[in-house]
């Protein structure tokens, strides 16, 4: 059974999340799969020239050079193993290998580290303008929909308007926002937020932080201090450090990820605005080159368009047109 058919059977019942992946990845799919279709149409056999052009398509989709090289090597071995001569048979193999390379033989680690019957502290980091505050609001909405009590901490006391922006989201979602005045010590905000969350018997505390990168040393010191205060009050916290990255910035997002990985122990990536780029391959590059799992992806503007990441749904979103096409061919046969 081809991998396309397996995907189709797995996602036969089109749930909302699968539809969102399909819709949200339309720009990448239209660019990536159309070029892949052209490549398959131009080559009758799977040869070295075919793989060279495939490398170029993948790199242009921001999959990342190292990841592309590994993917192509794996594809070459699989083509030999299955004795694939015709290029028509290669697309399903590519989709399978994308999932394999993402997980790299490990168990999926996309789920959040939630604390049972205790306060879960989630620290958000990321530069200004990537959609960090919006993502915090959407995540708070999801938790509230799941019946959890949520508190927000306005720890970005540096950027003008950041506190008010988070407070607007808190009011919109219907959760409390703990804040100090602009220019206050972010660590003091976190201390008060922890005390407030405990007093309110909250399930989740989501903490915003400043996103300035002009001085990496200051960034590191500030994040270390914030984490130290949280850990002192709640041993083992923060339970997640989520880095928000803007998918539309491509390789620039990789640079930011490396800086924040140095500054703090990032446990997961939230990739925003994935629906706004044709270079959705950045998902694979981040996981493969940085070893940090993508935990959420932004697939649109609506409140429920922030979706937990799933590599198979991601690949289905990339190849859904081809999956549907294969099914039609089988029906005709």
**192-230, pLDDT tens digit by residue?**
999 999 999 999 999 999 887 656 778 888 899 999 999
Same domain for 157 and 276: yes
The CATH number covering residue 95 comes to 1.20.120.140
**259-271, pLDDT tens digit by residue?**
888 888 999 999 9
Percent of the chain with pLDDT over 70: 92
Query: Which pLDDT band holds residue 106 (cuts at 50, 70, 90)?
Result: confident
The CATH number covering residue 164 comes to 3.40.50.300
Same domain for 211 and 81: no
Residue 229 lies in a domain: yes
| Number of continuous H segments (helices) and E segments (strands) in the chain | 13, 8
Query: Which pLDDT band holds residue 330 (cuts at 50, 70, 90)?
Result: very low
Report, as an integer, the average pLDDT of 7-14.
Answer: 65
Same domain for 302 and 258: yes
pLDDT over 80 at 156, yes or no: yes
- pLDDT attached to residue 4: 65
**27-75, pLDDT tens digit by residue?**
988 888 888 888 988 988 888 999 999 999 988 888 888 889 999 999 9
Give the span between the Cα atoms of 24 and 9, in whole angstroms: 21
Residue closest to 62 by CA, chosen among 247, 257, 314: 247
User: What range defines the domain where residue 30 resides?
Assistant: 17-106+313-332
Binding residue positions? 126-133, 208-212, 272-275
Same domain for 292 and 146: yes
pLDDT over 50 at 327, yes or no: no
Same domain for 268 and 187: yes
Give the span between the Cα atoms of 239 and 294, in whole angstroms: 16
- pLDDT attached to residue 217: 78
Residue 114 lies in a domain: no
Residue 8 lies in a domain: no
Residue 49 lies in a domain: yes
Pair 225, 207: CB distance under 8 Å: no
- pLDDT attached to residue 128: 87
Query: Which pLDDT band holds residue 328 (cuts at 50, 70, 90)?
Result: very low
Residue 115 lies in a domain: no
- pLDDT attached to residue 325: 56
- pLDDT attached to residue 12: 56
> Quick one: DSSP state of residue 13?
S
pLDDT over 70 at 110, yes or no: yes
Same domain for 188 and 92: no
Same domain for 154 and 191: yes
- pLDDT attached to residue 72: 93
Same domain for 259 and 135: yes
| 213 vs 255, higher pLDDT | 255
Report, as an integer, the average pLDDT of 239-268.
Answer: 90
Task: Write down the pTM of the prediction.
Answer: 0.91
Report, as an integer, the average pLDDT of 104-120.
Answer: 87
- pLDDT attached to residue 214: 59
Same domain for 253 and 124: yes
Q: What is the 3-state secondary structure (H, E, C) of 166-201?
A: HHHHHHHHCCEEECCCCCCCHHHHHHHHHHHHHHCC
Residue 3 lies in a domain: no
Q: What is the 3-state secondary structure (H, E, C) of 201-252?
A: CCCEEEEEECCCCCCHHHHHHHHHHHHHHHHHHCCCCCCEEEEEEEHHHCHH
Task: Please enumerate in sequence order all residues whose Cβ is within 8 A of that of 143, keeping only pairs 6 or more positions apart, or say none.
Answer: 150, 203, 204
Backbone φ, ψ for residue 182 (5° rounding): -60, 135
Report, as an integer, the average pLDDT of 179-185.
Answer: 94
Binding residue positions for GTP? 126-133, 208-212, 272-275
Mean pLDDT of the chain: 88
Q: Per mean pLDDT, which of 142-146, 220-224, 276-280 is the most reliable?
A: 142-146
pLDDT over 60 at 79, yes or no: yes
- pLDDT attached to residue 14: 58
Report, as an integer, the average pLDDT of 135-155.
Answer: 97
Pair 124, 242: CB distance under 8 Å: yes
Backbone φ, ψ for residue 202 (5° rounding): -70, 155
Give the DSSP H or E segment for 296. strand 294-298
Same domain for 196 and 292: yes
Residue 297 lies in a domain: yes
Same domain for 171 and 84: no
Same domain for 141 and 239: yes
Q: Please tell me the total count of domains within the chain.
A: 2
pLDDT over 60 at 276, yes or no: yes
Residue closest to 176 by CA, chosen among 199, 203, 192, 153: 153
Pair 240, 268: CB distance under 8 Å: yes
Give the Å distances, CA to CA, from 298 to 20, 114, 311: 10, 21, 14
Beta strands 240-246 and 294-298 are: unpaired
Report, as an integer, the average pLDDT of 287-314.
Answer: 91
Q: Give the bridge partners for 297, in sequence order.
A: 271, 307
Residue 21 lies in a domain: yes
pLDDT over 60 at 333, yes or no: no
């Amino acid at each position: 059974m081809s991998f396309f058919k397996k995907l189709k059977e797995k996602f036969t019942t089109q749930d909302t999340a699968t539809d969102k992946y399909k819709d949200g990845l339309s720009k990448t799919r239209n660019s990536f799969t159309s070029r892949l279709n052209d490549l398959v149409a131009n080559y009758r056999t799977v040869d070295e020239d075919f793989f060279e052009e495939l490398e170029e398509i993948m790199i242009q989709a921001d999959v990342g050079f190292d990841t592309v090289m590994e993917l192509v090597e794996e594809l070459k071995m699989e083509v030999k193993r299955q004795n694939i001569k015709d290029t028509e048979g290669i697309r399903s193999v590519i989709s399978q290998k994308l999932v394999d390379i993402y997980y790299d033989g490990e168990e999926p680690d996309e789920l959040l580290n939630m604390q049972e019957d205790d306060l879960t502290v989630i620290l958000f980091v990321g530069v200004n303008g990537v959609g960090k505050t919006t993502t915090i609001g959407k995540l708070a909405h999801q938790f509230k929909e799941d019946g959890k009590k949520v508190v927000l901490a306005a720890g970005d006391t540096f950027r003008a308007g950041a506190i008010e922006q988070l407070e607007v989201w808190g009011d919109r979602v219907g959760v409390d926002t703990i804040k100090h005045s602009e220019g206050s010590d972010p660590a003091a905000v976190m201390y008060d937020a922890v005390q407030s969350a405990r007093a309110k018997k909250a399930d989740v505390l989501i903490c915003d932080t400043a996103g300035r990168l002009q001085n990496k040393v200051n960034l590191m010191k500030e994040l270390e201090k914030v984490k130290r205060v949280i850990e002192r009050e709640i041993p083992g916290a923060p339970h997640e450090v989520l880095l928000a990255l803007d998918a539309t910035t491509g390789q620039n997002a990789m640079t930011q990820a490396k800086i924040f990985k140095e500054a703090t122990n990032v446990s997961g990536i939230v990739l925003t605005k994935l629906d706004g780029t044709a270079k959705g391959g950045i998902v694979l590059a981040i996981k493969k080159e940085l070893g940090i799992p993508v935990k959420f992806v932004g697939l649109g503007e609506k409140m429920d368009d922030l979706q937990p990441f799933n590599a198979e749904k991601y690949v289905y979103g990339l190849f859904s047109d081809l999956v549907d096409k294969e099914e039609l061919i089988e029906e005709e046969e």
